[in-house]
């Protein structure tokens, strides 16, 4: 089986009249060594079902197919989605039956859409929505046991950050709800076409049970959002709107065993789970104040250069 190199990628893009767009976060990998490294680092098993988001022209797809039982490729671009089976049939005809292509928005994917239960996420995620896509898939697909994703280097740092660091925040905490997360190495700019203006990084995720708590995930995430909406404030002040008043926030923090003078970046996911358990009942008008999932970072990011989605 031959992988796609710079000549093959550009030739295929020209044939399809594809011009990589910033809107879809399209930067195609043109280096065979990089996709082999990604597959090797992912530590896949022959019985794994891998889900790949944004397969593009198929560079990583071709490297994945020999290593797993099936690859489910989710592609939002209709031209690329239609071409991918043809590319696999040309370069790896003996593996073509292992590929399923789903023309869909990864932010809307549900288990019923896939025709299989994916066990591993391996992807060069579209950088403009990398964090929203990652969190959505971890929530929507509980069958995922591990993942290796390539994202913007800054985002990789944030996802893997530990409490107390300056870059620790919402992505760090929400990813930690689902998995143990670590940096798995850097990726240079020249392995892409077109070359981005930023470096990239690999992030490894291993699924673990969420913290034991009586509070629903949405409530825990709402507390996280509130704590980091005003990052410089103490938790007593930052959680005031979430709890109803500053006094109510302080009472919830004390009951959770958290010093109200601390800030959000000093706490782990287990701490926020305890805080959420003690949120006081809020007075709401059921006709006007409908409860929603407070996950603002799950919405598509604005169209800026290699947007982090944070």
Query: How confident is the model over 241-286, as pLDDT tens digits?
Result: 999 999 999 999 999 999 999 999 999 999 999 999 999 886 654 3
Spatial contact of 178 and 185, defined as CB atoms under 8 Å apart: no
CATH number of the domain located at residue range(s) 217-297 in this protein: 1.10.8.100
Which two three-digit tokens encode residue 100? Answer: 């399923």
Spatial contact of 234 and 290, defined as CB atoms under 8 Å apart: no
* pLDDT at residue 96, as a whole number: 97
User: Whose CA is closest to 195, among 38, 10, 63?
Assistant: 10
% pLDDT > 70, the chain: 88
Rounded to whole angstroms, how far apart are CA atoms 22 and 95?
31
Neighbours of 158 (CB within 10 A): 23
Q: Where are the domains of the chain?
A: 6-207, 217-297
pTM above 0.85, yes or no: yes
Compute the radius of gyration of the chain from its Cα atoms.
Answer: 21
* pLDDT at residue 276, as a whole number: 98
Please enumerate, by residue number, every residue annotated as part of a binding site: 27, 29, 54, 75, 105, 124
Q: Which CATH class is domain 6-207?
A: alpha beta
Same fold? 6-207, 217-297: no
Please report where in the chains the tokens 């470096």 appear, as a residue: 199
Sign of the C-alpha dihedral, residues 281, 284, 290, 292? Answer: negative
Please enumerate, by residue number, every residue annotated as part of a binding site for S-adenosyl-L-methionine: 27, 29, 54, 75, 105, 124
Look at 123-132, 203-212, 216-225 and tell me which has the smallest mean pLDDT: 123-132
Confidence of residue 24 (pLDDT cuts 50, 70, 90): low
């Amino acid at each position: 089986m031959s992988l796609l190199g710079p000549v093959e990628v550009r030739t295929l893009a020209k044939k399809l009249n594809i011009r990589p767009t910033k809107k879809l976060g399209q930067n195609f990998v043109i280096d065979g060594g990089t996709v082999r490294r990604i597959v090797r680092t992912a530590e896949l098993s022959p019985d794994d079902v891998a889900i790949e988001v944004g397969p593009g022209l198929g560079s990583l797809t071709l490297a994945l197919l020999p290593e797993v039982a099936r690859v489910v490729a989710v592609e939002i671009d209709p031209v690329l989605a239609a071409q991918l089976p043809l590319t696999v049939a040309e370069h790896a005809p003996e593996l073509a039956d292992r590929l399923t292509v789903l023309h869909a928005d990864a932010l809307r994917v549900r288990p019923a859409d896939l025709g299989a239960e994916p066990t591993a996420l391996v992807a060069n995620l579209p950088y403009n929505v990398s964090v929203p896509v990652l969190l959505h898939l971890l929530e929507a697909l509980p069958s995922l046991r591990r993942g290796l994703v390539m994202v913007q280097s800054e985002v990789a740092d944030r996802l893997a950050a530990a409490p107390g660091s300056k870059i620790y925040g919402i992505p760090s905490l929400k990813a930690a709800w689902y998995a143990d997360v670590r940096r798995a190495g850097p990726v240079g700019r020249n392995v892409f076409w077109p070359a981005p203006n930023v470096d990239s990084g690999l992030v490894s995720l291993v699924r673990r049970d969420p913290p034991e708590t009586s509070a629903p995930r949405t409530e825990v995430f709402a507390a996280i959002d509130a704590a980091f909406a005003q990052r410089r404030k103490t938790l007593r002040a930052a959680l005031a709107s979430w709890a109803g008043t500053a006094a109510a926030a302080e009472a919830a923090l004390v009951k959770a065993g958290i010093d109200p003078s601390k800030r959000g970046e000093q706490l782990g996911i287990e701490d926020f789970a305890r805080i959420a358990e003690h949120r006081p009942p809020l007075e709401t008008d059921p006709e006007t104040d409908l409860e929603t999932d407070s996950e603002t970072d799950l919405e598509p990011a604005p169209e800026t250069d290699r947007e982090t989605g944070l």
